[in-house]
Chains A and B, each alone.
Chain A
Amino acid sequence: MAVGASVAEGLPSATEGRGGSWPGVSVAPTFVDELILEVGEEAGRLLGCLQCGTCSSACPLAAYMDLTPRRLIGLVRAGAREAVLGSRAPWVCASCYACTMVCPKRIPITEIMHGLRRISMRERTFPRRFPTPVMSREFVSMVARNGRSTESLISLKLYLKTDPLLLVRNARTALRLLRQGRLKLRPARIRGRRELRTLLDAATG
């Protein structure tokens, strides 16, 4: 990072809080600084990552990730912004917190995964034709509208938008659920829908 580059607005200086700063010298914010803003102070612990791989060995989904949690954290620290934000790993993550529980440096890996999802969603770098981003979007827009989510309708949309074949493959299970009264087809709604909208708008600021 070039010495003397100006600090982008709103971001803390890269030297802030770790080792202090030299008078008259400012350092451009790093990807880690950006994540600290996105996820919170604890995300800064990733600077102390040992690259021990405990997280990857605990992760039940590592085999399905293009970058394992250990590599992802390593690349974040190295500032490989593009590689990290284009990765499907955060979208494969099941939020099971197994990695977070075992990390010897107490790095909030799961929360970092969520933070990476948010940045890649904003910058539209998330992997295309991958179901989880589509699912998240559909879920959010349904709940923003109704105040509740209706599982069947979200799945239906997901299938149509990603892989209509799944609809056929899962039709039998869906029919059985319907028979047992476990598949609701009408969207659930709350009364305070307008109140919820106001709340959500106020929360993003």
Chain B
Amino acid sequence: MTTMPASADTHTYPYYPGCSADGVGRGFAGSLHAVFERLGFPLVDLVDWNCCGATAWPSVDDSQALALGARNLALAERARPGSEPVDLVASCAGCYRALLRSAEALARGPTRSRLAGALEAVGLAVEGRARPRHPVDVLVNDVGLDRIRAAVVRPLTGVRVVSYYGCQLVRPLSTFDDEHDPVSMDRLVEAIGAEPVDWPLKTRCCGGSCYCGGPVIGAMPEATMQLSYLLLREASRRGADVIATVCPLCQFNLEGFQDQMARRFGHPLDVPVAFLTQLIGIALGIDDRRLGLHRLLRWRPLPIRTVEPEAAGHARR
């Protein structure tokens, strides 16, 4: 097994786990840490971070919602003194969106001075160095596909992966990919030797945010089921071996209720839904437990095709 040399250019990122990281999203946080570490870009959890406010807080008080994100950005800047920009990695799409909104409001919103005042009241400040980044963005644009390709010890040859980006990853303030037809995840899928499957529902809402983070379909079971079912049906129709997600809410929403949906809509469903970082981790030869594969509710070993004899030496550990 090859390990990336921890060379002098090892770069660490401050990491904002978000509230679901030790709940439904445990497999995400774990595999993300493992993958970034293996690639030589370890993530360091932000100390005493607070909840991002999701979409629930903006439904009650928007200034407070923006202040929640502002505190996290201020903590990230405080953890990295100096004049360099601070890339705060946020893995949940909902948190990522909320932090981007706060960064935007601090930079040019009408509530800018009030937010700065609120931070000052607790001895914090934001200079504008902190930039929320999603791990998909960081993997493609900072770490780079070449580096990832070079670290692969077990290419996922022949595994058909449908990438589900979700609705809040590439909009409204996120700029690293196309808002209608994003490709970053598919490029990562390709880099680990799997087969990206194109489909038209990449950013179609899964219904997950209908329940602002509840672990069990809560607020509107009807609507949520209908939306998720549409995605799952289309993915299985296209012969997906696995759906890759990068948001704890999407992942749980798509994985957790397939039996209920099958009963409701009278069509059998059995599609594993994993975090993209778990798939990358498998390709990098990281231990299954470290990747949290045992925490998935619906998992089976990937149908990795045996490699042609001439390439075998490269592919096997």
Contacts and interface: CB of A to CB of B under 8 A. Distances in A.
Contacts of A105: none
B2 to A, nearest CB: 31
Contacts of B171: 97, 100-101
Contact of B213 (A132, A154, A176, A195): A154
Contact of B20 (A94, A131, A151, A200): A151
A199 B124 CA distance: 10
30 contacts: A60-B207, A60-B227, A61-B223, A94-B210, A98-B167, A98-B205, A114-B58, A132-B210, A135-B56, A135-B211, A136-B212, A137-B60, A140-B60, A154-B213, A155-B211, A155-B215, A155-B218, A158-B219, A177-B24, A181-B26, A181-B295, A183-B24, A191-B48, A196-B122, A199-B67, A199-B122, A200-B64, A200-B118, A202-B122, A204-B61
Contacts of B294: 180
A169 B257 CA distance: 11
Contacts of B179: 101
A54 interface: no
A132 B219 contact: yes
A166 B19 contact: no
A94 to B, nearest CB: 5
B209 A94 contact: yes
A155 B210 contact: no
Interface stretch (B109-117, B151-159, B239-247, B268-276): B109-117
Interface string B282-307: 00000000000011110000000000
B110 A40 contact: yes
A56 interface: no
Nearest to A194: B122
Interface string A145-179: 00111111011001100000010011001101100
A188 B66 CA distance: 21
A177 B227 CA distance: 22
Contact of B57 (A97, A100, A139, A205): A139
Contacts of B218: 131, 135, 155, 158-159, 166
Contact of A183 (B48, B172, B208, B215): B215
Nearest to A184: B23
B55 interface: yes
A35 B104 CA distance: 20
B135 interface: no
A190 interface: yes
A11 B48 CA distance: 39
10 smallest A-B Cβ distances: which pairs?
A: A96-B167, A203-B67, A96-B205, A202-B118, A139-B56, A155-B214, A117-B59, A131-B219, A136-B56, A203-B118
A87 interface: no
